[in-house]
């Protein structure tokens, strides 16, 4: 069965349908062309086919009335271009001049077109084919045509426009094809892909591109001079200090006097002097290897004094490297005092836990530190008695003296805060002494100056150790360091003075003189 | 002197020179020496922890201890295993238990000690300076004690005032309180500068002792080891 597409919706319908079964649009023209009458249909000069007369029964009444009105109109003969131009001139009221509002070039084109039309004579009508008489248009319609096309010649372009053959608009020219519009696929509206970028934005784009590209590239570092004035100054200071110290070591001159004792040093000395025979002392080695030179020099006279007094020593440490430093320290003094491990002293090793570990010392020390550094049961077993340094000891309050060798202010403060209150409350003769680095003295001194004292005596740095050694007549323990130390300090003070003088006088020397400024002025 | 002592002395001499080479700037010798120190320290700490902590405090009680010791050793062992779960992001939640325990205990001990061991005693000591009836050892001069107390009081107050940042920006016509606080700030700066100078002197003193010790070691090494070797 043949099908016919709907001109409106484009869907297929059987060819015997009059209207579309989907959109109810008419599929066939109301006036079906009769093959017999088709050849006799009048055609106008533009070739437009006159619509065929539909059957009277199929034509609506309004359309029949409209056709009767058209038939009653008398067609006027088509006017020539001269007549039209004359009408235009009359309408503008300025014959021979450029119409108002019309650009010059349009007027010139119109004039040339007019001249071309003047040379062309209209062809004579063919006698064989007389053709229909031109339709007479009303004046208002003719004026609209002139207004739309501008020139009479453009009217000929209508001949190329198709004539609608089907549907309610059948017979009209220039009707837009509905089916073509509907069936045409509509893609997304195209936009111009090229952005409008200003010159300033282009500059910024280039700058951003350079920045992004430079991120992945290694930039060469600026070349620094291999030897600068800073290097020379550093080497000069180091050379001066080192040469002075080495000179004092190689060629020791007249030994310098050791410093006089201070109050805190004398207090510590008094505490050790008052230790009973076989007194028990807890010694904590809480410093790092980098500070061993100062701490060993400062503490050697103090520990030596303890050994002279015959005190039993218990060595502990809250730092992992402390037990080794303690063994090394005792070994240094071993040739003089012959202290034996497990007899006169015991090394209980490392106390894990930091500050919290100090609280364990105030509790049950046998549980907190059950073994020596050699792995022996420090507090006795079935086959071994309690080691002498630990006899009668259950907590830190049982010691006659607690001595802390420390270089860290936090660790020193932890000992004061955690252990000292327990010592003071549990034992009236118990004391806390310290051997500290010189840099800790401003921090530790307030605990000594407090009332009641929280630290009962301390030795600060090499100077404190030297004064303590002088107090006990053991100057040889610190003599090797003290003289060179004094030379080094003297050199440092000298360098500071020289640098200060240069810093203060250099601007004066480089300032332009008054005569120079007057000459320049 | 044994061969081991000679080897140790040579090694120490070489490492000392490598560290001193930092005077000419950062260089590979200095870096090698630093890496050796760090590696040796880490290894030694590991051995100390195993021998001094894990074995005697956890492993030995678990193997040969009494029932009480075994129960007490299980708790730190479990907490230690839970702490290891921090390695895995999925199981890290279980590690919060030992971390919370460690932080809580450490904070409690530190805060309690700071308040009772430092704050209250130091405030009390600052007040007690003006108690001229109290004997203070060698310092028996009451006048000096009073002057000392006034200096400490002024230093404490002005130093604390220096860390008070509530005076706002500089104004053309400050109020009386702002002028007072600014005066305290300036005096506090003097005390802080003196304190920093004292601390720097202490640091320099400690460093100087270390330098003297190292240079003495080098001189002794050259005298006792290198010169005999060269002479033979």
- Closest chain A residue by Cα to residue B45: A320
Q: Is B183 on the interface with A (CB under 8 A)?
A: no
pLDDT digits (tens, 9 = 90+) for A262-277: 899 999 999 999 999 8
Residue of A224, A226, A246, A249 for testing the chain B interface, max B β-carbons within 10 Å: A249
CA atoms within 13 A on the CB side of A131: 14
The A residues from 278 to 317 touching B (CB cutoff 8 Å) are 290-291, 293-294, 297
For CA atoms A371, A372, A376, A377, the dihedral sign is negative
Cross-strand pairs, A433: A403, A457
CB hemisphere CA count around A332 (13 angstroms): 15
User: Who has greater pLDDT, A223 or A461?
Assistant: A461
The residues, ordered by sequence, that sit 6+ positions from A253 with a Cβ below 8 Å of its Cβ are A483
How confident is residue B25, by pLDDT bands cut at 50, 70 and 90? Answer: confident
pLDDT of residue A416: 94
B71 touches chain A (CB under 8 A): no
The residue whose two tokens read 């240069």 is A502
**pLDDT of amino acid A98:** 52
Query: How far apart are alpha carbons A243 and A241 in whole angstroms?
Result: 6
Strand order in the sheet with A432-436: A345-350, A312-317, A280-286, A401-406, A432-436, A457-460
CA distances from B13 to A439, A517, B18, B19, B41 (A): 27, 59, 9, 10, 19
A437 contacts on B by Cβ (under 8 Å): 202, 206
**pLDDT above 50 for A330:** yes
Q: What is the pLDDT of residue B134?
A: 65
Question: B113: nearest CA in chain A?
Answer: A417
Of all residues in chain B, what percent carry a pLDDT higher than 70? 93
Instruction: Say if residues A395 and A366 touch (Cβ distance below 8 Å).
Output: no
Phi-psi region of A311 (alpha: psi -120 to 50; beta: other; left: phi over 0): beta
Q: For A377, phi and psi rounded to 5 degrees?
A: -75, 105
For residue A311, pLDDT beyond 90: yes
**Pick from B122, B136, B211: which is nearest to A245 by CB?**
B211
What would the mean pLDDT of A288-303 be, rounded to a whole number? Answer: 92
Q: What angle do CA B188, B149, A451 make, to 5 degrees?
A: 120
**Is B36 within 8 Å of chain A by CB?**
no
Tokens for A509? 């020397």
Selected residues 393-452 of chain A with any CB under 8 Å from a CB in chain B? 407, 413-414, 416-418, 420-421, 437-442, 446-447, 449-451
The reported pLDDT for the residue numbered A47 is 43
| Residue A196's pLDDT band (cuts 50, 70, 90) | confident
Interface mutation target, options B19, B194, B198, B205, chain A, most CBs of A under 10 Å = B205
Say which residue, A134 or B119, is predicted with more confidence: B119
Would you tell me how many other CB atoms lie within 10 Å of the CB of residue B133?
Answer: 5
pLDDT of residue A36: 43
Task: Please indicate whether residue A77 or residue A426 has the higher confidence score (pLDDT).
Answer: A426
Selected residues 164-183 of chain A with any CB under 8 Å from a CB in chain B: none
Please report the pLDDT score of residue A272 as a whole number: 94
Specify the 3-state DSSP secondary structure of A43: strand
Q: What is the 3-state secondary structure (H, E, C) of A337-367?
A: HCCCECCCEEEEEECCCCHHHHHHHCCCHHH
Which of B23, B205, B212 minimises the CB distance to A234? B23
Given CB atoms, is A463 within the 8 Å cutoff of chain B? yes
A109: tokens are 């084109």
User: Which of A235, A243, A293 would you mutate first to test chain B, the one with the most B CBs within 10 A?
Assistant: A293
Nearest to B109 among A359, A449, A463 (CB): A359
Chain B nearest-CA residue for A239 = B23
Q: What is the DSSP string of B102-124?
A: HHHHHHHHHHHHHIIIIIHHHHH
Predicted confidence band of residue B190 (pLDDT cuts 50, 70, 90): very high
pLDDT digits (tens, 9 = 90+) for A332-355: 887 788 888 888 999 999 998 888
State which H helix or E strand residue A317 sits in. Answer: strand A312-317
A284: β partners: A316, A404
| pLDDT in the model for residue A355 | 84
**pLDDT recorded at residue A43:** 44
- Helix or strand holding residue A107 (H, E): helix A104-119
Shortest distance, CA B51 to any CA of chain A (angstroms): 8
Buried b (16+ CB within 10 A) or exposed e, A158-186: eeeeebbbbbeebbeeeeeebbeeeeeee
Q: What is the ipTM of this complex?
A: 0.84
Give the residue, A411 or A152, on which the prediction is more confident: A411
Per-residue confidence (pLDDT) for residue A264, from 0 to 100: 93
CB contact under 8 A, A463 and B138: no
Closest CA relative to residue A430, chosen from A464, A457, A469: A457
CA A331 to chain centre: 56
Which contiguous run of DSSP H or E holds residue A283?
Answer: strand A280-286
For residue B158, report the phi and psi dihedrals to the nearest 5 degrees: -70, -35
Taking 50 as the threshold, does the pLDDT of residue A40 lie above it? Answer: no
Instruction: Please provide residue B65's backbone torsions phi and psi, each rounded to the nearest 5 degrees.
Output: -85, 170
Partner-chain contact B44 A321, CB within 8 Å: yes
Quick one: average pLDDT of A22-47?
Answer: 56
B16 contacts B211 by C-beta, under 8 angstroms:
no
β A3-5/A12-14 pair status: antiparallel
| Structural contact between residues A318 and A411, judged by C-beta atoms closer than 8 angstroms | yes
How long a stretch of residues is chain B?
A: 232
3-class secondary-structure state, position A282: strand
Q: Per residue in B100-134, pLDDT tens?
A: 999 999 999 999 999 988 999 888 888 887 877 76
At A457, is the secondary structure helix, strand, or coil? strand
Residue A30 or B120, more confident:
B120
Give me the pLDDT at residue A80, please. Answer: 53
Rounded mean pLDDT, A389-403: 91
CB A84 within 8 A of CB A152: yes
Instruction: Determine contact, residues A294/A439, Cβ cutoff 8 Å.
Output: no
- Residue length, chain A? 521
Residue A95 has pLDDT above 50, yes or no: no
Give me the DSSP letters along B198-225.
HHHHHHHHHHHHHHHHHHHHHHHHIIII
- pLDDT above 60: residue B187: yes
Report CA torsion sign: A497, A501, A504, A506: negative
Q: Rounded distance, CA A332 to CA A77, Å?
A: 142
Q: Where are the domains of chain A?
A: 3-75, 76-118+176-212, 263-474
Alpha-carbon distances of A432 from A185, A263, A404, B126, rounded to whole Å: 99, 15, 8, 21
What does each C-alpha distance from A199 to A107, A193, A204 come to in angstroms? 41, 18, 9
B81 contacts B100 by C-beta, under 8 angstroms: no
Q: How confident is the model at residue B96 (pLDDT cuts 50, 70, 90)?
A: very high
> What percentage of chain A exceeds 70 in pLDDT?
71
- Across the interface, whether the CB atoms of A370 and B137 are under 8 A apart is answered no
Map residue A166 onto helix, strand or coil. coil
User: How far is residue A412's CA from residue A415's CA, in Å, rounded to a whole number?
Assistant: 5
Distance CA B42, CA B25 (A): 26
Minimum mean pLDDT range among A169-178, A301-310, A379-388: A169-178
Identify the CATH homologous superfamily for domain A263-474. Answer: MTH777-like (3.40.50.10160)
Identify whether the C-beta of residue A403 lies closer than 8 Å to the C-beta of residue A302. yes
This model's pTM is above 0.80: no
Contact A242 B211 (CB under 8 A): yes
Q: What is the DSSP string of B85-103?
A: GGGSTTTGGGGHHHHHHHH
SS3 A509: helix
* Residue-wise burial string across B198-207, b where 16 or more C-beta atoms lie within 10 A, e elsewhere: ebebbeebbb
pLDDT at A483 exceeding the cut of 70 = yes
- The pLDDT mean for chain B works out to 87
Could you tell me which residue, A183 or A94, shows the higher pLDDT?
A183
Residue found by looking up tokens 């107050």 in the block: B157
What is the per-residue pLDDT for A383? 79
**Which residues from B are below 8 Å from A440, CB to CB?**
202
- Is B125 in Cβ contact with A488 (below 8 Å)? no
CB B208 within 8 Å of CB A492: yes
- For B12, the token pair is 């120490």
Chain A residues within an 8 Å CB radius of B202: 437-442, 461
Q: Does the CA dihedral A68-A73-A78-A79 come out positive or negative?
A: negative
Classify residue A216 by its DSSP letter: T
Name which of A45-54, A369-378, A433-442 the model is least confident about.
Answer: A45-54
Q: At what angle do helices B176-221 and A229-250 cross, to 10 degrees?
A: 60
Query: With bands split at pLDDT 50, 70 and 90, how would you rate the model's confidence at B188?
Result: very high
Interatomic CA distance for residues A459 and A298, integer angstroms: 7
CB spacing of A245 vs B215 below 8 angstroms: yes
Count of C-beta atoms within a 10 Å radius of residue B10: 14
Give the residue on B whose Cα is nearest the Cα of A438: B202
- pLDDT at res. A51: 46
Question: What pLDDT is attached to residue A46?
Answer: 42
A156-179 pLDDT, tens digit per residue, is 555 567 777 777 777 777 776 666
Using a 10 angstrom Cβ sphere, with 0-12 exposed, 13-18 middle and 19 or more buried, the burial of residue A387 is buried
Q: Does B139 touch chain A (CB under 8 A)?
A: yes
Chain B closest-CA separation from residue A216 CA (Å): 27
| Helices (H), ranges, A386-475 | 409-418, 420-426, 441-449, 461-472
Does B157 or A104 have the greater pLDDT score? B157
Minimum distance, in Å, between the CA of residue B97 and any CA atom of chain A = 17
Least confidently predicted of A484-493, B69-78, B166-175: B166-175
Domain boundaries, chain B: 130-232
Q: A461 touching B, CB under 8 A?
A: yes
Residue of chain B nearest A417, judged by CA positions: B117
Contacts of B197 in chain A (CB under 8 A): none
A234 in contact with B, Cβ within 8 Å: yes
Residue bearing the bigger pLDDT, A222 or B74: B74
Count Cβ atoms within 10 A of the Cβ of residue A54 and give its class: 0-12 exposed, 13-18 middle, 19 or more buried.
Answer: middle
């Amino acid at each position: 069965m043949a099908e016919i597409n709907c001109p409106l919706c484009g869907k297929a319908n059987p060819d015997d349908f009059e209207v579309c079964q989907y959109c109810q649009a008419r599929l066939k023209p109301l006036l079906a062309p009769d093959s017999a009458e088709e050849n006799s249909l009048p055609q106008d000069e533009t070739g437009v086919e006159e619509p065929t007369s539909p059957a009277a029964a199929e034509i609506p009444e309004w359309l029949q009335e409209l056709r009767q009105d058209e038939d009653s109109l008398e067609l006027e003969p088509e006017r020539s271009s001269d007549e039209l131009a004359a009408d235009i001139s009359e309408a503008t009221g300025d014959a021979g001049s450029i119409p108002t509002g019309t650009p010059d070039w349009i007027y010139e084109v119109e004039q040339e077109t007019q001249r071309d039309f003047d040379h062309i004579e209209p062809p004579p009508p063919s006698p064989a084919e007389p053709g229909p008489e031109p339709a007479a248009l009303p004046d208002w319609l003719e004026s609209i045509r002139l207004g739309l096309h501008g020139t009479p010649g453009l009217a000929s372009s209508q001949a190329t426009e198709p004539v609608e053959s089907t549907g309610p608009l059948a017979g009209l020219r220039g009707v837009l094809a509905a089916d073509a519009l509907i069936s045409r696929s509509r893609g997304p509206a195209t936009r111009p892909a090229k952005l409008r970028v200003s010159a300033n934005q282009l500059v910024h784009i280039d700058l951003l591109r350079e920045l992004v590209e430079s991120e992945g590239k290694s930039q060469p570092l600026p070349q620094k001079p291999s030897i600068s004035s800073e290097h020379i100054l550093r080497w000069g200071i180091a050379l001066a200090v080192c040469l002075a110290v080495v000179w004092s070591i190689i060629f020791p001159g007249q030994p310098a006097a050791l410093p006089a004792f201070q109050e805190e040093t004398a207090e510590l000395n008094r505490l050790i002097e008052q230790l009973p025979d076989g007194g028990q002392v807890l010694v904590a080695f809480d410093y790092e290897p980098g500070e061993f030179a100062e701490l060993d020099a400062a503490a050697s006279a103090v520990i030596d004094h303890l050994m002279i007094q015959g005190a039993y020593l218990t060595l502990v440490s809250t730092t992992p490297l402390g037990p080794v430093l303690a063994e090394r320290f005792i070994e240094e003094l071993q040739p003089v005092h012959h202290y034996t491990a497990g007899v006169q002293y015991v090394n209980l090793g490392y106390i894990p836990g930091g500050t919290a570990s100090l609280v364990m010392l105030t509790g049950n020390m046998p549980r907190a530190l059950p073994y020596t550094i050699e792995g022996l049961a420090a507090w006795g077993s079935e086959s071994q008695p309690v080691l002498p340094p630990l006899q009668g000891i259950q907590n830190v309050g049982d010691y006659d003296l607690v001595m802390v060798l420390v270089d860290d202010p936090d660790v020193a403060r932890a000992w004061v805060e955690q252990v000292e209150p327990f010592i003071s409350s549990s034992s009236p003769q118990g004391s806390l002494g310290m051997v500290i680095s010189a840099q800790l003295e401003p921090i530790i001194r307030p605990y000594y100056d407090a009332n009641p004292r929280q630290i009962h005596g301390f030795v600060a740095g090499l100077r404190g150790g030297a004064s303590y050694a002088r107090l006990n007549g053991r100057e040889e323990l610190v003599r090797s360091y003290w003289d060179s130390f004094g030379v080094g300090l003297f050199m440092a003070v000298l360098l500071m003075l020289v640098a200060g003088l240069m810093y203060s006088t250099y601007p004066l020397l480089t300032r332009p003189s008054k005569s120079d400024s007057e000459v320049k002025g | 002197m044994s061969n081991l002592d000679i080897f140790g002395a040579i090694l120490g001499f070489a490492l000392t020179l490598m560290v001193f080479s930092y005077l000419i700037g950062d260089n590979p010798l200095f870096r090698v020496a630093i890496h050796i120190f760090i590696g040796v320290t880490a290894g030694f700490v590991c051995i100390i922890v195993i021998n001094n902590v894990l074995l005697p405090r956890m492993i030995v009680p678990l193997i040969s201890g009494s029932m009480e010791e075994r129960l007490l050793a299980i708790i730190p062992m479990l907490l230690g295993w839970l702490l290891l779960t921090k390695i895995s992001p999925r199981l890290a939640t279980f590690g919060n238990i030992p971390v919370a325990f460690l932080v809580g205990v450490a904070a409690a001990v530190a805060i309690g000690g700071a308040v009772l061991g430092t704050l209250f005693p130091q405030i009390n000591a600052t007040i007690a300076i003006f108690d001229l009836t109290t004997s203070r050892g060698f310092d028996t001069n009451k006048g000096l004690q009073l002057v000392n107390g006034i200096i400490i009081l002024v230093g404490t107050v002005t130093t604390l005032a220096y860390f008070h940042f509530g005076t706002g920006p500089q104004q053309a016509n400050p109020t009386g309180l702002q002028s007072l606080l600014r005066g305290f700030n300036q005096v506090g700066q003097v005390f802080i500068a003196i304190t920093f100078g004292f601390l720097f002197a202490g640091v320099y003193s400690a460093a100087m002792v270390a330098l003297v010790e190292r240079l003495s070691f080098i001189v002794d090494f050259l005298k006792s080891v290198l010169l005999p070797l060269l002479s033979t």
